[in-house]
Amino acid sequence: MPSTATDHATELARYLAMLGASEPAGGLLELRYRNPSQPGTMRQRFHHVGNTTRMAREITLLAAHSDVYVGVAPRRTHSGGRHAVSRSWVLWADIDQAPDDSRTAALPVDPGVVIASGTPGHQHLYWPLREPLAPDELEQANATLARALGADQGPVLGAATILRPPHTLNHKHHPPTRVTLERFDLRPHTATEILTGLPAAPAPPARPEARVHTNGSDPLLTIAPARYIEVLTGQTVGRDHKISCPFHDDSTPSLHVYDDPAKGWCCYGGCRRGGTIYDLAGAVWQLDTRGADFIEIRRRLSRLFRTSDEGQAVPAER
Ligand SMILES: [Zn+2]
């Protein structure tokens, strides 16, 4: 792997060109970034698919102080939601445990691009496509790959997914760790070639279900959604029970806030995210709602809302 800053910028631009591929004129690549000293403030920019050199330069500058993400599928409008996606030029999978080589070896086509996202064992795999797929087919294909790999089956399969580009820094860790390019073979394949012989996964659900992660006595799951949404997003929930979705450009507030903590929240603006306090915190902090990340989410929420680290209520002062 090349190691100079110039080589990294060139590779980053080629990675962005892989995502934009042959997207017709007007296509955009979405950039999102958050400075960890301002949690909850995710910022968003768009570049034309042809502007990869300039976008790579911007990503490099931002990465010095921020976690940076790129929309894997090009957008047709200045929005990060699924409705802004017409097609994707890659398939992908998100591995959050040390990769199982026997599962990877059983795939008909090796992933061309492998990115280590800066957390041990976490990898993003990409398969460049000869012909693009529309969102429904794409999500089905990603689900089939994820099932074959034993990989994350959650919202990361969705057409609106954002992932860390290579040669940036993962600021979840102290000191920050490098997001590295482990393999970089841009030869495209057809979806049929990539999925040959793999059992088709059921289509992903249209909307995320509110998931309950612990038993009914979890005090974090009794906090009113309007309260935790204000704390986690900095937005006040209006009388119409809505806020602007923090995960994309959302001029007409489309994230609905329910009264019932079991229902939580749901974005009807296209990104289709939703769920409990854990799902919102995970999305805002870019942490997985499973495994070690989930424990970290609960630890931070427990601090914020004054419950103990185990999720038990702290005895009230009387
Ligand atoms: Zn949304």
Residue 136 Cα to ligand 1 midpoint, Å, equals: 18
Residue 265 Cα to ligand 1 midpoint, Å, equals: 10
Q: Which residues of 56-78 are buried (b: 16+ CB within 10 A; e: fewer)?
A: beebbebbeebbbbbbbbbbbee
Q: How are beta strands 88-95 and 168-170 bridged, if at all?
A: unpaired
Q: What is the pLDDT of residues 129-172, one digit of tens each?
A: 999 999 989 999 999 999 899 887 766 788 989 999 999 999 98
Residue 81 Cα to ligand 1 midpoint, Å, equals: 6
**Does 211 have pLDDT greater than 50?**
no
Provide CATH code, domain 5-195: 3.30.70.1790
Lowest mean pLDDT among 28-37, 70-79, 259-268: 259-268
Helical segments of 113-219, H only:
135-149, 191-195
Residue 120 Cα to ligand 1 midpoint, Å, equals: 29
Residue 168 Cα to ligand 1 midpoint, Å, equals: 25
Residue 269 Cα to ligand 1 midpoint, Å, equals: 5
Residue 85 Cα to ligand 1 midpoint, Å, equals: 14
Residue 52 Cα to ligand 1 midpoint, Å, equals: 26
d(CA 112, CA 186) in angstroms, rounded, equals: 6
pLDDT, position 125: 96
Structure tokens at 182: 């482990």
CATH number for 219-304: choose from 2.40.110.10, 3.40.50.300, 3.30.465.10, 3.90.580.10: 3.90.580.10
Residue 32 Cα to ligand 1 midpoint, Å, equals: 14
Please give the share of the chain, as a percent, with pLDDT higher than 90. Answer: 53
Candidates 55, 54, 49; CA nearest to 24 is 49
Residue 35 Cα to ligand 1 midpoint, Å, equals: 20
Of 100-104, 294-298, 305-309, the range with the highest mean pLDDT is 294-298
User: How many Cβ atoms from other residues are within 10 Å of residue 313's Cβ?
Assistant: 15
Q: Are 31 and 22 in contact (CB under 8 A)?
A: no
- Token pair 């954002």: residue: 162
Q: How are beta strands 67-71 and 162-163 bridged, if at all?
A: antiparallel
Residue 59 Cα to ligand 1 midpoint, Å, equals: 23
User: How many Cβ atoms from other residues are within 10 Å of residue 168's Cβ?
Assistant: 27
pLDDT, position 90: 98
Say which residue, 103 or 23, is predicted with more confidence: 23
Residue 273 Cα to ligand 1 midpoint, Å, equals: 6
pLDDT, position 254: 87
302-316: average pLDDT: 56
Residue 244 Cα to ligand 1 midpoint, Å, equals: 8
Domain range list for the chain: 5-195, 219-304
Residue 154 Cα to ligand 1 midpoint, Å, equals: 16
pLDDT, position 166: 98
In whole numbers, what is the pLDDT of the chain averaged over residues?
Answer: 86
Residue 232 Cα to ligand 1 midpoint, Å, equals: 15
Q: What is the pLDDT of residues 250-282, one digit of tens each?
A: 888 889 898 888 778 988 877 778 888 999 999
Q: How are beta strands 242-243 and 265-267 bridged, if at all?
A: unpaired
Residue 272 Cα to ligand 1 midpoint, Å, equals: 6
